[in-house]
Amino acid sequence: MKPIVFITQKLPDQAVAGLKEQYEVRMWPEEETHAPREKLLEEAKEAHALWTMLSDQIDSEVFENAPNLKIVSNLAVGYNNIDLEAARKYGVTVTNTPEVLTESTADLTFALLLATARRIMEAEKIVRSGEWKSWTPMGMTGQNVGGATLGIIGMGRIGEAVARRAQGFGMNILYHNRTRKSLEDVRYAGFEELLKVSDYVVILTPLTPETRGMIGAEELALMKETACLINVARGGIVDEMALYEALKEKKIWGAGLDVFEQEPVPLDHPLLTLPNVTVLPHIGSATVQTRLEMMALNAEAIKACLENRSVKNRVC
């Protein structure tokens, strides 16, 4: 019998064609939804490889009920949806998809920053709804980006790519990171200093026990009233209700969010009621080229593991 690969969400044929030649590939048939929990557990009982999405919780229950499982390959850079301790306990390799999404995610980050600063989404709605009656001196005024101060929390590959884009806008760039780096025209700042002086605070740190909830009411209170918070990392890093209150009370000027603690974000979420919030459906790496490159990394990792070859992009 061929080894079994279970893919938890429908992927393009070209992404899985190479696996079908050698393995029995089982794939959840819907692109808009991922395999429900009961289906995941059912397939894990026989699977030799799981190709997973961020929306899949791969916890100890999955590993306990997967005697044949050799690898979990996650279609993301992040892997906070996978219990790594349990994976190690059961001897299962876990991989992710780093590096290939750096530039596309940095593009989206800066696009979200610009859209928030210049109220792009609000302005488009005014045009489409017919509310635009005439030019007015202070109509739809936003915040300057060129020459402003950008504070990046989490200076990994994506952070450095965002900084390069900011340099083109003549921004004053600060960063806060666990380790200091030698970067041209970019200055390290303490966490509180960065929050106090930045016009734009961009979150690019992974979600870990240490970073969960790191931006709450106290941190938001340190920011300028004219500042914007941009989150393209993980929703759990920001206390969403604290952010709602800060925006509602105009303690900060705006926010751009590509991620939420619960995804899809509930339609009755308070943040969605505010005009000074620009929201996107977690599309940081969503270009055709990038997503196909990410899938190619997943497929190669699965093949390498099942063929007992060296596996790249191992998390554990």
316 residues of the chain, pLDDT tens digit each: 899 999 999 999 999 999 998 999 999 999 889 999 999 999 999 999 999 999 999 999 999 999 999 999 999 999 999 999 999 999 999 999 999 999 999 999 999 999 999 999 999 999 999 999 999 999 999 999 999 999 999 999 999 999 999 999 999 999 999 999 999 999 999 999 999 999 999 999 999 999 999 999 999 999 999 999 999 999 999 999 999 999 999 999 999 999 999 999 999 999 999 999 999 999 999 999 999 999 999 999 999 999 999 999 999 9
The one catalytic residue in 85, 192, 263, 307 is 263
142 and 124 housed in the same domain: yes
Name the amino acid, one letter, at 138: M
Domain membership flag for residue 181:
yes
Please indicate whether residue 24 is annotated as part of the active site: no
CB 79 within 8 A of CB 100: no
**What is the domain extent for residue 31?**
4-96+288-307
74 with 134, same domain: the answer is no
Say yes or no: 139 and 256 in one domain. yes
Cβ neighbour number for residue 104 with a 10 Å cutoff: 22
Residue owning tokens 């610009």: 114
- 33 in the same domain as 168: no
The answer to whether residue 79 sits within a structural domain is yes
Catalytic annotation on 291?
A: no
191 shares its domain with 297: no
- For residue 314, is it within any domain? no
Q: What is the pLDDT at residue 155?
A: 97
d(CA 182, CA 168): 19
Q: Count how many domains the chain has.
A: 2
Of the residues 234, 240, 291, 300, only one is catalytic, namely 234
Nearest CA to 256 among 274, 236, 231? 231
Q: Please report, for the domain that includes residue 72, its CATH number.
A: 3.40.50.720
> Looking at 43, 282, 291, 300, which residue is catalytic?
282
- Is the peptide bond preceding residue 264 cis, with omega within 30 degrees of 0? yes
The answer to whether residue 54 is domain-embedded is: yes
241 and 176 both lie in a single domain: yes
Same domain membership, residue 151 and residue 82 = no
Residue 235 domain-assigned? yes
Q: What is the pLDDT at residue 161?
A: 97
Task: Look at residue 315 and tell me if it is in a domain.
Answer: no
Note whether 130 and 178 are same-domain residues: yes
The pair of structure tokens assigned to 136 is 């007015």
CA distances from 296 to 86, 96, 285, 315 (A): 26, 11, 14, 17
pLDDT of residue 312: 96
**Residue 301 within any structural domain of the chain:** yes
Question: Is 42 marked active-site?
Answer: no
- Asked whether residue 109 falls in the same domain as residue 196, the answer is yes
On the CB side of 280, CA atoms within 13 Å amount to: 24
Q: Are residue 130 and residue 58 in the same domain, yes or no?
A: no
b/e map 204-230, b = 16+ CB within 10 Å: bbebeeebebbbeeebbebbbeebbbb
The answer on 271 and 143 residing in a single domain is: yes
For residues 129 and 260, membership in a common domain is answered with yes
Residue 158 to residue 154: CA distance in whole angstroms: 9
Kindly give the residue spans of alpha helices, DSSP state H, lying in 187-284.
191-197, 217-222, 240-248
